[in-house]
């Protein structure tokens, strides 16, 4: 059974860089069949897509966050990562990693449990 697990600091200071890692187990991140994504959810609010990465390193970012987002993949560790720079209180959220099949029309079929990141001033 595929499992995704987010990890990283739960508290980040304003203006600094948020860094999270998603560790994939029960399957290979190097498969050509999948994209790996990050989605966030501010407390009490809705879901926001942050971006996707392919095992080759090809990335797709939310235009509203593109200037601050960097995603990377480490196939040797079966992990992918998110960096979000210049954070503010508005970036406080539950951050999820998830898998999406590359076929058109597919959604995120496996999700991590999420990790809460608070941005402090």
Partner 1 sequence: SYELTQPPSVSVSPGQTASITCSGDNLGNKYACWYQQKPGQSPVLVIYKDNKRPSGIPERFSGSNSGNTATLTISGTQAMDEADYYCQAWEGSTGVFGGGTKLTVL
Catalog residues that contact partner 1 under the rule CB under 8 A. Answer: 37, 39, 46-49, 52, 60, 62-64, 96, 104-109, 111-114
Q: Where are the beta strands (DSSP E) in the chain?
A: 3-7, 11-13, 18-25, 34-41, 48-54, 59-61, 69-74, 79-84, 93-101, 108-111, 115-120
Q: Which is nearer to partner 1, 55 or 111 (CB)?
A: 111
Distance separating alpha carbons of residues 49 and 65, to the nearest angstrom:
10
Q: Which is nearer to partner 1, 37 or 84 (CB)?
A: 37
Question: In the bound complex, what is the minimum distance in angstroms from residue 50's beta carbon to partner 1?
Answer: 9
Question: In the bound complex, what is the minimum distance in angstroms from residue 46's beta carbon to partner 1?
Answer: 4
Q: Which is nearer to partner 1, 50 or 87 (CB)?
A: 50
Question: In the bound complex, what is the minimum distance in angstroms from residue 15's beta carbon to partner 1?
Answer: 25
Beta 11-13 vs 115-120: how paired, if at all? parallel
């Amino acid at each position: 059974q595929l499992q995704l697990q987010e990890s990283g600091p739960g508290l980040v200071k304003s203006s600094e860089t948020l860094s999270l890692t998603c560790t994939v187990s029960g399957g290979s991140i190097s498969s050509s069949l999948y994209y790996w994504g990050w989605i966030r959810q501010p407390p009490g609010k809705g879901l926001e897509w942050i971006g996707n990465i392919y095992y080759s390193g090809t990335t797709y970012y939310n235009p509203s966050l593109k200037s601050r987002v960097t995603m990377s993949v480490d196939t040797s560790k079966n992990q992918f990562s998110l960096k979000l720079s210049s954070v503010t209180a508005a970036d406080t959220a539950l951050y999820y990693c998830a898998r999406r099949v590359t076929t058109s029309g597919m959604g995120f079929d496996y999700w991590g449990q999420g990790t809460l990141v608070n941005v402090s001033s």
